[in-house]
Structure 1
Amino acid sequence: MTKASTTQPPSRRRHDREIIALAVPAFGALVAEPLFVIVDSAIIGHLGTPQLAGLGVAAALLTTAVSIFVFLAYATTAAVARRVGAGDLASAIRQGMDGIWLALLIGAVVVAATLPLAPWLVDVFGASDTAAPYAVTYLRISSLGIPAMLVVLAATGVLRGLQDTRTPLYVAIGGFAANGALNALLVYGAGLGIAGSAWGTVIAQVGMAVAYLIVVVRGARRHDASLRPDLAGIRASAQAGAPLLVRTLSLRAVLMIATAVAARLGDTDIAAHQIILSLWSLAAFALDAIAIAGQAIIGRYLGAGDAKGAREACRRMIQWGVASGVVLGLLIVLARPLFIPLFTDDSSVRDTLLPALLVVALSQPVAGVVFVLDGVLMGAGDGRYLAWAMILTLAVFAPVALLIPGLGGGLTALWWAMALMMAVRLLTLWLRMRSGRWIVTGATR
Structure 2
Amino acid sequence: MDNITHARVLKIALPIVLSNATVPLIGAVDTGVVGQMGQAAPIGAVGIGAVILAAIYWIFGFLRMGTSGLVAQSHGAKDPAETGAILMRALLIGLAAGAVFILFHRLLFALGFAIAPASAEVEELATQYLTIRVWGAPATIALYAVTGWLIAVERTRAVLVLQLWINALNVILDIWFVLGQGWGIEGVAAASLIAEWSGLALGLWLCRPAFAGGQWHDWARVFDRARVKRMMQVNGDIMLRSILLQGAFTGFIFMSAAFGDVTLAANQVLLQFLEITAYGLDGFAFAAESLVGQAVGARSVRDVRRASVLTSQWGVGGSLVLGIFFWVAGPGIIDLMTTEPHVRIDARSYLPWVAVAPVIGIASWMFDGIFIGATRAREMRNSAAISVLVYAVAVVVLSGWGNHGLWAALMVMNVTRAVTLGAVYGRVERAAA
Q: Against the structure 1 CA distance between its residues 223 and 355, is the aligned structure 2 distance closer, same or farther, given a 3 Å change threshold?
A: farther
Aligned to 2:395: 401
Distance 2:310 2:211 in 1: 36
Q: Once the 2 structures are TM-superposed, how far is the Cα of residue 119 of structure 1 from its aligned partner?
A: 3.4
Distance 1:321 1:95 in 2: 29
Q: Once the 2 structures are TM-superposed, how far is the Cα of residue 427 of structure 1 from its aligned partner?
A: 1.0
Distance 1:378 1:254 in 2: 21
Q: Against the structure 1 CA distance between its residues 429 and 414, is the aligned structure 2 distance closer, same or farther, given a 3 Å change threshold?
A: same
Q: Once the 2 structures are TM-superposed, how far is the Cα of residue 68 of structure 1 from its aligned partner?
A: 1.5
Q: Against the structure 1 CA distance between its residues 409 and 45, is the aligned structure 2 distance closer, same or farther, given a 3 Å change threshold?
A: farther
Q: What letter matches 1:391 in structure 2?
A: A
Q: 1:231 aligns with which of 223, 228, 231?
A: 223
Aligned to 1:372: 366
Q: Against the structure 1 CA distance between its residues 399 and 129, is the aligned structure 2 distance closer, same or farther, given a 3 Å change threshold?
A: farther
Deviations 1:388-436 (Å, cap 9, x if unpaired)?
Answer: 11111111213433676xx454333221111111111111121122x34
Q: 8 Å contact 1:102–1:238 — kept in the other structure?
A: no
Aligned to 1:389: 383
Q: 2:34 aligns with which of 41, 44, 49?
A: 44
Q: Once the 2 structures are TM-superposed, how far is the Cα of residue 387 of structure 1 from its aligned partner?
A: 0.7
Q: What letter matches 2:215 in structure 1?
A: A
Identical columns (%)? 26
1:194 and 2:188 aligned: no
Q: Once the 2 structures are TM-superposed, how far is the Cα of residue 437 of structure 1 from its aligned partner?
A: 4.8
Q: Alignment length, in residue pairs?
A: 427
Aligned to 2:419: 427
Aligned to 2:406: 414
Q: 8 Å contact 1:102–1:234 — kept in the other structure?
A: no
Deviations 1:98-133 (Å, cap 9, x if unpaired)?
Answer: 111111111111221113442342232122223111
Q: What letter matches 1:169 in structure 2?
A: L
1:332 and 2:299 aligned: no
Q: Against the structure 1 CA distance between its residues 65 and 267, is the aligned structure 2 distance closer, same or farther, given a 3 Å change threshold?
A: same
Q: Against the structure 1 CA distance between its residues 115 and 84, is the aligned structure 2 distance closer, same or farther, given a 3 Å change threshold?
A: same
Gap runs ≥5 in structure 2: none
Q: 8 Å contact 1:380–1:439 — kept in the other structure?
A: no
Q: 1:251 aligns with which of 245, 249, 253?
A: 245
Q: Once the 2 structures are TM-superposed, how far is the Cα of residue 224 of structure 1 from its aligned partner?
A: 3.6
Aligned to 1:146: 137
1:77 and 2:68 aligned: yes
Please identify, of 244-253 and 392-401, the stretch whose mean Cα deviation from structure 2 is larger: 392-401
Q: 8 Å contact 2:72–2:294 — kept in the other structure?
A: yes
Gap runs ≥5 in structure 1: 1-9
1:343 and 2:333 aligned: no
Alignment of 1:62-73 (within 5 A): 62-73=53-64
Q: Against the structure 1 CA distance between its residues 158 and 341, is the aligned structure 2 distance closer, same or farther, given a 3 Å change threshold?
A: same
Distance 1:199 1:246 in 2: 33
Q: What letter matches 2:139 in structure 1?
A: A
Q: Against the structure 1 CA distance between its residues 249 and 115, is the aligned structure 2 distance closer, same or farther, given a 3 Å change threshold?
A: same
Q: What letter matches 2:421 in structure 1?
A: L
Q: Once the 2 structures are TM-superposed, how far is the Cα of residue 223 of structure 1 from its aligned partner?
A: 3.9
Please identify, of 193-202 and 227-236, the stretch whose mean Cα deviation from structure 2 is larger: 227-236
Q: 8 Å contact 2:87–2:210 — kept in the other structure?
A: no
For residue 300 of structure 1, give the secondary structure of its aligned residue in structure 2.
helix
Please identify, of 44-53 and 250-259, the stretch whose mean Cα deviation from structure 2 is larger: 44-53
Distance 1:36 1:235 in 2: 37
For residue 130 of structure 1, give the secondary structure of its aligned residue in structure 2.
helix
1:27 and 2:21 aligned: no
Q: Once the 2 structures are TM-superposed, how far is the Cα of residue 323 of structure 1 from its aligned partner?
A: 1.7
Q: Against the structure 1 CA distance between its residues 71 and 339, is the aligned structure 2 distance closer, same or farther, given a 3 Å change threshold?
A: same
Q: Once the 2 structures are TM-superposed, how far is the Cα of residue 73 of structure 1 from its aligned partner?
A: 0.8
Q: 8 Å contact 1:122–1:136 — kept in the other structure?
A: no
Please identify, of 246-255 and 47-56, the stretch whose mean Cα deviation from structure 2 is larger: 47-56
Aligned to 2:254: 260
1:163 and 2:154 aligned: yes
Q: 8 Å contact 2:22–2:164 — kept in the other structure?
A: yes
Aligned to 2:92: 101
Distance 2:85 2:63 in 1: 15
Q: 8 Å contact 2:371–2:428 — kept in the other structure?
A: no
Distance 2:119 2:15 in 1: 40
Distance 1:228 1:139 in 2: 37
Distance 1:90 1:28 in 2: 31
Q: What letter matches 1:251 in structure 2?
A: L
Distance 1:393 1:221 in 2: 41
For residue 34 of structure 1, give the secondary structure of its aligned residue in structure 2.
helix
Q: What letter matches 2:412 in structure 1?
A: L
Q: 8 Å contact 1:122–1:135 — kept in the other structure?
A: no
Distance 1:144 1:384 in 2: 33
Deviations 1:24-81 (Å, cap 9, x if unpaired)?
Answer: 0111222323322222112122332111111221111111111211111111111111
Deviations 1:274-295 (Å, cap 9, x if unpaired)?
Answer: 1111111111111111101100
1:115 and 2:106 aligned: yes
Distance 1:65 1:169 in 2: 24
Q: What letter matches 2:166 in structure 1?
A: G
Q: 8 Å contact 2:73–2:297 — kept in the other structure?
A: yes
Please identify, of 265-274 and 115-124, the stretch whose mean Cα deviation from structure 2 is larger: 115-124
Please identify, of 228-237 and 424-433, the stretch whose mean Cα deviation from structure 2 is larger: 228-237
Aligned to 1:282: 276
Q: 8 Å contact 1:269–1:352 — kept in the other structure?
A: yes
TM-score, structure 1 as length reference:
0.91
Q: 8 Å contact 1:322–1:366 — kept in the other structure?
A: no
Distance 1:371 1:286 in 2: 12
Task: Tell me the C-alpha RMSD between the 2 structures.
Answer: 2.0
Task: Kindly indicate which of the two structures has a greater share of residues assigned to helix.
Answer: 2
Aligned to 2:305: 311
